[in-house]
Amino acid sequence: MTSSTNISYANSDLFDRRSLFFDPNLKRNRLNELLTAIAATFAAIAVLPLFLVLGYVLVKGGSMIRPSLFLELPPELGLTGGGIGNAILGTLIVSAIATCIALPVGIGGGIFLSEYSRGGWFANFIRFGNDVLAGVPSIIAGVFIYGLVVVTKLFFDQSFSAMAGGIALSVLMLPTIIKTTDEGLRLVPQELRWGAYGVGASKFVTITRITLPAAFTPIATGVVLAVARAAGETAPLIFTTLFSPYWPDGIFNPIATMSVLIYNFAIMPYEYQNALAWAASFVLVVMILGANLLSRWISKMAKT
Amino acid sequence: MKPDFSNDVNAEAFTLRRRPPSEKLVDIGFSQLSLALASGVALVLLGIFLTVFGQAREAIAQFGLNFLTTSDWDPVNDRYGALVAIYGTLVSSLLALVIAVPLGVGTAIFITEDLVPTRIREAIGLMVELLAALPSVVLGLWAIFVMEPAIRPVLNMLHNVLGWSPLFSTVPQGPGMAPAILILVVMVLPIITAISRDALNQVPIELRQGAYGIGSTRWGAIFNVILPAAISAIIGGVMLSLGRAMGETMAVTMIIGNSLSFNISLLAPGNTIASMLANQFGEADGIQVSALMYAALILMLLTFVVNVAAQWIVRRLSLRY
């Protein structure tokens, strides 16, 4: 028998034990339930668009999926048949150009921020600039490359080109890659670096052979997300790569991309073009959601 | 006493390795290279500003600050004013936030505060992240063909009931400001939810325990303890999504109607700076390019101010425990 059971609170005037029992009819508990219901409603509203958009893209775009969609050019306006092969290829080309530019610059910049300048004013300034760059609207990146590359005809006297679009997308990818590299490298335990220095490795060898591989997972996750994001971007492309109804003709000519195709074909008054826009959306969404799930899978694999 | 290795055949094994010059060169070269690549960020930012400003100079000289307050956009007579686009940018993004903030913060509370089993919370979190990954142009396509026809009866009803007020004075005829605001809500909702969720997750468990310990209900704790602790990060996130909403281009361009004339009604077609740029850059030339660059400069400055303010709020106003 513990002492607490000897004292009978039930008979006390001072303390009514029943007041501690949960009473659903209390005003505060009613309010609690009401607010929980409201929050649940908000959450349901928040995920509703995903189901609606995915549903329509899957139904309207999925019904168009057939081999010729991937292998043929879009038809002449008003005609039917054909596919979006050139746009799929074009998106891959432009995203590859963007990745080739943004990846070395972003990872190099991230290495500088985390390995060479811990806490210097310059590093803080670059981090701030990186955050500002991440907030720059994507269309401004397009305007920038339009003024820098398209108007000046920088590449072989060509104005609109796949190259220009790739550079514009790389501007958008850069902040994400720098940030994930910086944060990924800072998660690597300091002891690993000391160990490498201890056995006589130079700083270059330590970074390339020890630190970078140790931070591979977060960096790879960030890069996959950045590439997926860039592949879906449209605004910077509509006046840098423009559009082409033909197969890609070198990277210094206008090129078709899926996102610009969706934009162009969505606002056309032809039903078949609208249907092709839904088909392109299907392919694009599958690619992007696939990349997102891949990045989650990478980070989950690393944790276990 | 120092060990004496002078007569030892293995002396070499104990001396410090002398670094060959080539290794030093590689080391220095690599650090300089990474410095140069990091400076690339600053160069890109500077390049963006200089390019846009340089191209806009002609229009700035010609139109001056009147550009901000006049509303004619007339490529034939080369007279430009961005009032319609600036008004549209501010109204669409602010009204979108008014709707999205309660929804986003409410969702974030729902998935952080232990109201439902972990599985459901994780599923909702994943779905919100996937919603953020959907390309803007796909949302625009959906808005044109699915959302706008679906909400038109609702907008019609609004017009019939509230038609006396200037905000609902026009008959909804397809694309317009109201559907653009709704699609903006869909686009900023995931950002607000994600940032609020992170902010709420970082509130120390001791604060929650303290609140529950003095007998507060779950929502009492949320409103009086947890939300105030996380409010600076949430406000910062809201500001970030304001910047995102102002710069959002494709979905808005496809559904807002791109009207060049001023109309205060939310049911009428409108325009934003971003959608004007997207629409006209492809076939603009001469002074029109310069005028568009001027508009781009304004958009850039707007988003810059909002983003820097967001960072400042997060750094300065965050509570320290």
Highest mean pLDDT among A72-76, B123-127, B264-268: B123-127
Task: State pLDDT tens for residues B26-63.
Answer: 888 888 888 888 888 999 999 999 999 988 888 888 88
Confidence of residue A198 (pLDDT cuts 50, 70, 90): confident
Instruction: Check: CB of residue B218 under 8 Å from CB of residue B149.
Output: no
Chain A residues touching residue B36 (CB < 8 angstroms): 108
- Residue-level pLDDT at A76: 77
pLDDT for A147 beyond 80: yes
pLDDT tens, residue by residue, A232-265: 888 888 888 888 787 777 778 788 888 988 998 8
Assess A135–B contact: CB distance below 8 Å, yes or no: yes
* Facing residue for A263 by CB, picked from B137, B277, B296: B137
On chain B, the residues whose CB falls within 8 A of the CB of A115 are 34
More confident: A11 or B209? B209
pLDDT exceeds cutoff 80 at B1: no
Residues of A in Cβ contact (< 8 Å) with B138: 53, 57, 232, 262, 281, 284-285
For A139-191, the DSSP string reads: HHHHHHHIIIIITTTTBTTBSS-HHHHHHHHHHHHHHHHHHHHHHHHHTS-HH
For the segment A71-86, the average pLDDT, to the nearest whole number, is 78
pLDDT (0 to 100) of residue A304: 58
Give residues with Cβ within 8 angstroms of A255, minimum separation 6: A86, A90, A93, A94, A161, A162, A165, A241, A243, A244, A248, A249
Residue A201 has what pLDDT?
A: 83
Q: Which residues of B touch A232 (CB under 8 A)?
A: 133-138
Residue B291 one-letter amino acid: A
Query: What is chain A's mean pLDDT, rounded?
Result: 84
Cβ under 8 Å to B: A residues 196-215: 200, 202-204, 207
- What Cα–Cα distance (Å) separates residue B75 from each residue in A148, A159, B65, B275, B290? 23, 22, 19, 16, 12
Report the complex ipTM. Answer: 0.86
Window 138-167 of B, Cβ < 8 Å to A: 138-142, 144-147
Q: Is the pLDDT of residue A2 over 80?
A: no
Asked if B73 contacts B80 with a C-beta cutoff of 8 angstroms, the reply is yes
Q: What is the pLDDT of residue B142?
A: 93
What are the b/e assignments for B96-124, b being 16+ CB within 10 Å? bbebbbebbbbbbbbbbbebbeeeebeeb
Q: pLDDT band at A3, cuts 50/70/90?
A: very low
| Closest chain A residue by Cα to residue B290 | A147
Please compute Rg for chain B using Cα positions: 27
User: What mean pLDDT comes out for the span B82-109?
Assistant: 92
Instruction: Give residues 240 to 259 of B whose Cβ lies within 8 Å of A.
Output: 240, 243-244, 246-250, 253-254
pLDDT at A16: 66
Among partner residues B116, B139, B307, which is closest to A53 by beta-carbon distance? Answer: B139
Smallest Cβ–Cβ distance between A28 and the set B217, B278, B311 belongs to B217
Q: Would you state the structure tokens that stand for residue B123, as one six-digit string?
A: 């599923």
Query: Nearest Cβ partner of B141 from A178, A239, A277?
Result: A277
Check B282 against A242: CB less than 8 A apart: yes
Q: What is the pLDDT of residues B216-256, one digit of tens each?
A: 888 888 998 899 888 888 998 899 899 989 988 888 988 88
Q: Which residue has the higher pLDDT, A236 or A83?
A: A236
Which pLDDT does position A23 carry in this prediction?
Answer: 76
Query: Measured between CB atoms, which of B115, B300, B308 is closest to A39?
Result: B115
Q: Does B312 touch chain A (CB under 8 A)?
A: no
For chains A and B, count residue pairs whose Cβ atoms are closer than 8 Å. 264
Q: What is the pLDDT of residue B97?
A: 94
- Closest among B19, B4, B227, B211 to B105, alpha carbons compared: B227
> What is the separation, in whole angstroms, between the first and last Cα of chain A?
48
Q: Do B281 and A32 touch (CB under 8 A)?
A: no
| Nearest-CA distance A158 → chain B (Å) | 15
**Model confidence at A268, in pLDDT bands (50, 70, 90)?**
confident
| pTM for this prediction | 0.87
pLDDT at A75 over 90: no
| Residue A267 vs residues A220, A274, A277, B271, B290: alpha-carbon distances, Å | 37, 8, 10, 16, 27
User: pLDDT tens digits for B156-215?
Assistant: 888 888 878 877 877 788 888 889 999 999 999 999 999 999 889 888 888 888 988 888
Contact A238 B282 (CB under 8 A): yes
Cβ neighbours of A109 in B, within 8 Å: 34, 37-38, 40-41
Q: What is the mean pLDDT of residues B251-267?
A: 85
Task: Give the pLDDT band of residue A17 (cuts 50, 70, 90).
Answer: low
Does the beta-carbon distance from B217 to A266 stay under 8 Å?
no
Q: Label residue A1 by pLDDT band (50, 70, 90).
A: very low
The pLDDT of residue B301:
92
Show residues of chain B in contact with A47, CB under 8 Å: 124, 127-128, 131
Using the Cβ of B5 and the Cβ atoms of chain A, whether some distance falls under 8 Å is answered with no
Contact: B189, A46; criterion CB under 8 Å: yes
| Calpha distance A244→A240 (Å, rounded) | 12
**pLDDT at B305 > cutoff 50:** yes
Residue B14, pLDDT score: 55
For residues B45 and A161, give the distance between their C-alpha atoms in angstroms, rounded to a whole number. Answer: 22
Instruction: Tell me whether B125 touches chain A (CB under 8 Å).
Output: no
The torsion of the CA quartet A55, A61, A65, A69, rounded to 10 degrees, works out to -160
- Residues forming beta bridges with residue B80, ordered by sequence position: B73
Any CB–CB contact under 8 A between B50 and chain A? no
Nearest CA in chain A to B123: A47
Indicate the average pLDDT of chain B. 85
Helices (H), chain B: 11-14, 21-63, 66-69, 83-112, 118-133, 136-142, 148-162, 177-201, 205-213, 218-221, 227-247, 250-256, 273-280, 287-316
Could you give the CA distance from residue B95 to residue B88 in angstroms, rounded to a whole number?
10
What pLDDT, on the 0 to 100 scale, is given for residue B4?
Answer: 56
Q: Judge whether residue B315 has pLDDT over 80.
A: no
The two three-digit tokens of residue A299, written as one number: 């980070």
Q: Which residue of A has its CA nearest to B114?
A: A36
pLDDT for position A15: 63
pLDDT digits (tens, 9 = 90+) for B101-119: 999 999 999 988 877 888 8
Interface of A with B in 34-63 (CB under 8 A): 35-36, 38-40, 42-43, 45-47, 49-50, 52-53, 56-57
Of chain A, the percentage scoring pLDDT greater than 70 comes to: 91
Q: Quick one: which of A280, A41, A117 has its CA closest to B34?
A: A117
A53, A154, A259, best to mutate vs chain B, most B CBs in 10 Å: A53
